[in-house]
Amino acid sequence: MTSKNYWAENIDAIGQSVDSVFLDINDFPQQEGNDILYIGKINSLHDLLNSQDMRDEEDKRKLAKDFMNFMEVNPAYYNLRYIDENGMEIIKVENDGKSLFVVEDEKLQDKSDRPYFNKIMMLDKDEIYISRIDLNAENSILENRGTEEVPEYVPVIRYGMPVFDYGGKRKGFLIFDIYADYFLEDIRRASRNGDFMFLVDNNGYYLAHRDKSKEFSFMFGEEDRIDIDYPDVGLEVLRSFDKRFIETEDFVFTFRHIYPTVGTFEIYQGSRKIFGDKPEDEHYWVLVSVSHSSGMKKDMKNIENDFILSAIFSSLIVLLIVVLLFVILLINGGQKK
């Protein structure tokens, strides 16, 4: 194998590794979008939406049970809520990482001041809101399942969809909070011969990184971004929608752009409708693998050295065979005389 072929095969192998993770992530938005469309059609929800008393305990119990049944077989869901048109949580089923439970009425909160409230309430039937990935907060405090010294924050992505009664009156919305770590952890663990992988948003902030202290820095007033860590190429990686890898003197960057808000149904991100005709202008993520050029070049040099040594050894063998044949011919010629 020549060094040139080795380089091409190495780049191809890295690309295949990135593609494997990319395909898993790329399926995620569509699957969850289909789930919220499904929940939006269940009978218990419409029984509650069309009841004379939206606080009817029996209707609420049936809907909560259906939420529980759904979440039991879908552990990626952090919580599932029905919020009324005034912003008040009516039903909330939560998975705290240890157990699944219905949140008590006295612990339900008014969410009318949250940014997603107005955004979802502006949508039409079967239109879906997808948030950016951020860290979950309750009562404006980041949820921490670890300790103060070793925090374990909870990355979530939210899907929301308005719901209506049979008369077409808007009756609030469904909202799913999904554990983003279900795919972020796969990215953190992905590595190949010293390469490492990370995920950034369209502003360059890390969403998944082997150094977790770099993640979600925008929520802490910090600036851990790809364009700061790699100033010569970071912005090019973010904006190069028609490229799949970039080589510098020190690194090879292999990357794929992911558009979580582009699907087969119309989706909103924030308050803007996205049709997918120019997804690069909207909300996206970039999956990036970083490989050290020096390591690959060293391997190529070793291959070249091995090739040279092999060629020298082969030449010596051939020379030895020729000499032996010559000696044999001389001996045979002398005997005939």
Q: What share of the chain is helix, strand, coil (3-state, %, to 5)?
A: 40, 25, 30
Please state the domain count of the chain. Answer: 1
DSSP H/E element including 45 = helix 43-49
Cα–Cα distance measured from residue 37 to residue 52, given in angstroms and rounded to the nearest whole number:
24
Q: Is residue 155 part of a domain?
A: yes
Cα–Cα distance measured from residue 288 to residue 15, given in angstroms and rounded to the nearest whole number:
10
Asked if residue 130 has pLDDT above 50, the reply is yes
Asked if residue 318 has pLDDT above 80, the reply is no
Q: Cα dist. 276→35, 85, 200, 281, 287 in Å?
A: 21, 29, 20, 10, 19
Q: How high is the pLDDT of residue 244?
A: 86
Q: How high is the pLDDT of residue 279?
A: 46
190 or 305: which leads in pLDDT: 190
pLDDT category, 268, cuts 50, 70, 90? very low
Using CA of residue 260, residue 265, residue 269, residue 272, what is the dihedral sign? positive
Asked if residue 248 has pLDDT above 50, the reply is yes
Domain CATH number, residue 154: 3.30.450.20
Q: Is residue 330 part of a domain?
A: no
Q: Is residue 312 part of a domain?
A: no
Q: How high is the pLDDT of residue 307?
A: 54
**Tokens 């039991």, residue?**
72
Q: How high is the pLDDT of residue 201?
A: 94
Q: Is residue 333 part of a domain?
A: no
| Average pLDDT of the segment spanning 33-56 | 87
256 or 297: which leads in pLDDT: 256
Asked if residue 273 has pLDDT above 50, the reply is no
Report helix, strand or coil for 291. strand
Per-residue tokens: 88? 């008040």
| Average pLDDT of the segment spanning 110-133 | 89
DSSP H/E element including 115 = helix 115-121
Asked if residue 217 has pLDDT above 90, the reply is yes
Q: How high is the pLDDT of residue 166?
A: 93
Asked if residue 159 has pLDDT above 70, the reply is yes
Cα–Cα distance measured from residue 47 to residue 148, given in angstroms and rounded to the nearest whole number:
45
Lowest mean pLDDT among 11-20, 181-190, 301-310: 301-310
pTM across the whole model? 0.75
Asked if residue 8 has pLDDT above 80, the reply is no
Per-residue tokens: 220? 């802490």
Asked if residue 15 has pLDDT above 80, the reply is no
146 or 22: which leads in pLDDT: 146
Contact (Cβ atoms closer than 8 angstroms) between residue 40 and residue 174:
yes
Q: Is residue 275 part of a domain?
A: yes
- Looking at every residue in the chain, the average pLDDT score rounds to 82
Lowest mean pLDDT among 35-44, 90-99, 147-156, 189-198: 189-198
Q: Is residue 153 part of a domain?
A: yes
* Best mean pLDDT range from 117-131, 202-216, 264-278: 202-216
| Average pLDDT of the segment spanning 142-163 | 91
* Best mean pLDDT range from 44-58, 118-132, 222-236: 222-236
Closest CA to 225 of 244, 202, 253: 202
Domain that holds residue 170: 3-294
Asked if residue 304 has pLDDT above 70, the reply is no
Q: Is residue 318 part of a domain?
A: no
pLDDT category, 40, cuts 50, 70, 90? very high
Non-local (6+) Cβ contacts of 139 within 8 A are: 109
pLDDT category, 283, cuts 50, 70, 90? confident
Q: Is residue 302 part of a domain?
A: no
Cα–Cα distance measured from residue 21 to residue 40, given in angstroms and rounded to the nearest whole number:
30
pLDDT for 84-104, tens place per residue?
Answer: 999 999 999 999 888 999 999
